[in-house]
Amino acid sequence: MELIPAIDIIGGKCVRLSQGDYAQTKVYNENPLEVAKAFEDVGITRLHLVDLDGAKAQHIVNYKVLEQVATHTSLQIDFGGGLKSDEDLRIAFESGAAMITGGSIAVKRPEIFEHWLQVYGGERIILGSDVKDEKIAVNAWQECTSIDIWTFLADYQKKGVRKTICTDIAYDGMLAGPSLDLYRRMLKQFPDLYLIASGGVSSLDDLYRLQEAGLPAVIFGKAIYEGRISMSELSAFNS
């Protein structure tokens, strides 16, 4: 199972939200590059970098942080948050992103997201599938749609999506364990999708439970920043 730590950025700093609520923001480090290097030092090869300012502003904001991390580490960076135009995508890729994640854009402007899939391919364009009660949520989780996750994924898989990050908002940042039941059902229904679990990881045990369930990858952050998972445990898991 691929371990993908998350670094969420507000004002150039490493933060975490609880259930996507900007009012529940906690700053963990003033220097995201320092955090990224610490992950690299324990054998992590991939990073999920989220521009929370961008998600709110509806366009890329923290591309300088992306550029810094991409320039000074060898981490493969998946970048997301507020990417809404071809120009946003150009900036993200030129700043060092290996992949980008689009969620709200795939719902609100599907023609743009489908164009990105055609131009860059399903290996570089990841579908963000953020859910609340199995319905797709958009705009930094501020808005819940009537689109169910199953229809959403089936439609986009036909259009060339190969990877999706699924965050169950009820679990995100709560350190209460991941949405295992949902992920098991998704793996059964979409065996060919590279399903990246996100949200709720609270301990090393949760990582093992996700691995046993057959998840190919997992994104996590708060458990590390709160000291629930140590860097040495990550290193041991990786090896």
Say yes or no to pLDDT of 153 above 80: yes
| pLDDT tens profile 64-104 | 999 999 999 999 999 999 899 999 999 999 999 999 999 98
pLDDT of residue 22: 76
pLDDT of residue 142: 66
Q: Quote the mean pLDDT of the chain.
A: 93
| pLDDT tens profile 8-23 | 999 999 987 776 677 7
Do 68 and 40 meet the contact criterion of CB atoms below 8 Å apart?
no
pLDDT of residue 30: 87
Which residues belong to the active site?
8, 130
pLDDT of residue 26: 87
Distance CA 9, CA 14 (A): 5
Q: Any idea what the Cα angle at residue 55 is, between residues 195 and 222, rounded to 5°?
A: 60
Say yes or no to pLDDT of 56 above 80: yes
Say yes or no to pLDDT of 174 above 80: no
pLDDT of residue 140: 57
Weakest mean pLDDT among 36-45, 56-65, 168-177, 202-211? 168-177
Distance CA 224, CA 215 (A): 20
pTM for the model: 0.93
| pLDDT tens profile 113-131 | 999 999 999 999 999 999 9
Distance CA 141, CA 81 (A): 11
CATH code at 2-238 = 3.20.20.70
Do 65 and 12 meet the contact criterion of CB atoms below 8 Å apart?
yes
